[in-house]
Amino acid sequence: MRGVLSTKQLNRIKHEILFMFEECEVVSYPIDCFAIAKKLYYVLRPYSSLSPDEYQKALSIDPDGYSTVEKNPDTGMNEYVIYYNDSVNEGRMRWTIFHEIGHIYLGHHDHPDNSQTVIEEAEADFFAKYTIAPPPLINIAKCECPMDIAVRFKVSGQASIYLFVYYRKWMEFGPREYEPFELEMLQLFQAA
């Protein structure tokens, strides 16, 4: 999905992530997807909590996880629900939850047919990547290799390589000074 999103779209998502960090009072890493979901009133349902039939249905929808809008039977109100596979490694599980938080937080469930477009998938992927280990925090954490990222940000080995490549590109091709929203993020994490 490389190149699907414009710089303007990426910057909008970065700002949304900073706003979410502020709203959820996120001030340390590794960033806790469970705490964020709870503060945003998103319901988390692990696949292991499902009946055998529901479990098979969930796996057929997505082996890692998905999000949806459901009516709460007690209140009659709609709520966002994230289903996630809790039998995978912790890093992959956290990535999936952040991806689904991205779908919800960016408003992807706000259209009637509830289908995900290529753009929305790219946005949710970027949301997960930038939320789980933002380059300014990787820099402040002095991560020198993918393993440093895996340990400090609790991501899978595969994700740590992906994040390290992204971080190196940010260092090489990004602005020479922190962007204003990056400074705000560093201040939030008291790392500036």
Q: Domain map of the chain by residue range?
A: 7-188
182: enclosing H helix or E strand: helix 180-188
pLDDT interval class at 132 (50, 70, 90): very high
- Region 119-134: mean pLDDT is 96
- pLDDT exceeds 60 at position 192: no
* Torsion of the alpha carbons at 117, 121, 123 and 126, rounded to the nearest 10: -170
pLDDT interval class at 1 (50, 70, 90): very low
Burial of 155 (0-12, 13-18, 19+ CB in 10 A): buried
pLDDT value, residue 2: 55
* Reported pTM: 0.93
pLDDT digits (tens, 9 = 90+) for 143-185: 999 999 999 999 999 999 999 999 999 999 988 899 999 999 9
- pLDDT exceeds 70 at position 113: no
